[in-house]
Amino acid sequence: MKNLILEGFMGCGKSRIASELGRSIKLEVIDTDDVIERKQGRTIAKIFEESGEEAFRDMETAVLRELSDRQEGAVISLGGGMPVKSENRKLLKELGTVIYLKADSNVLIRRLQRGVEKRPMLSGHDLKERVEQLLSEREAFYEDAADIVIEIGEDDPEKIVKRIMEKAEQ
Ligand code: S3P
């Protein structure tokens, strides 16, 4: 089976859905943020603080390039900003089926209330304004990269996984 790649804004549940999906169809789960943290031996927040956003974005592209020779057998969960760079969107198209977990800003804001300190793109900003701003900047990139769009609403992860499987099999 071609890789299944999950994209979407911070807080949409990519990691949670990826592990449910991996478990139910017995595929390895790869989380690009985890890969970067492991390689760097420091958290995403520390990478932003010590090296800056641009260095982190380069690390993200490097991870996609490294994954590019493995187009099957994995569920890949992306950091929320991954599809912003056009080079990344091109790499994603070659890497597998891209599934956009689409949520509206109110759902995201509610879910993001906790854990802001782990997310340097949000910390130090007014949460509502920042989410609305970034989402409006990114929406077109998520749509552009997506093969499948799943509106997540308030559905629980099991239901979302079922809907992903139905669409991915078509
Ligand atoms: C980011 C999202 C984060 C992480 C980094 C930057 C973004 O991943 O990659 O903090 O720019 O949206 P999650 O979407 O898993 O929170």
The pLDDT value given to residue 1: 87
End-to-end CA distance of the chain: 13
- For 71-103, the pLDDT digits (tens) are 899 999 999 999 999 999 999 999 999 999 999
Q: How sure is the predictor about 117, in pLDDT bands with cuts at 50, 70 and 90?
A: confident
pTM attached to this predicted model: 0.97
Distance of CA 33 from the midpoint of ligand 1 (Å): 8
Percent of the chain topping pLDDT 70? 100
For residue 163, give both structure tokens. Answer: 């809907």
- Residue 9 alpha carbon, nearest atom of ligand 1: 14
Chain center to CA of 65: 16
| Mean per-residue pLDDT over the chain, rounded | 95
Q: What is the CATH number of domain 3-152?
A: 3.40.50.300
DSSP label of 119 = -
Protein residue with least CA distance to atom 2, ligand 1: 80
What would the mean pLDDT of 115-134 be, rounded to a whole number? 95
Cα–ligand 1 centroid distance for 10 (angstroms): 6
Verify whether ligand 1 is closer than 6 Å to residue 121 (CB atom): yes
Position 10 scores a pLDDT of: 97
Residue 6 and residue 18 in contact, taking contact as beta carbons nearer than 8 Å: yes
Q: Would the CB of 79 count as within 6 Å of ligand 1? A: yes
**What pLDDT sits at residue 170?**
72
Q: Is the pLDDT of residue 168 over 90?
A: no
What's the farthest any 2 CA atoms get from each other in the chain? 45
**Mutation choice for ligand 1 from 5, 10, 51, 123, CB with most ligand atoms inside 8 A:** 10
Residue nearest to atom 8 of ligand 1 (CA): 79
Q: Whose CA is nearest to atom 9 of ligand 1?
A: 79
pLDDT over 80 at 63, yes or no? yes
Measured from the CB, is residue 10 less than 6 Å from ligand 1? yes
Q: Tell me what pLDDT residue 105 has.
A: 96
Q: Tell me the per-residue pLDDT of 127-165, one tens digit each, with 9 for 90 and over.
A: 999 999 999 999 999 999 999 999 998 788 999 999 999
User: What percent of the chain has a predicted confidence (pLDDT) above 90?
Assistant: 91
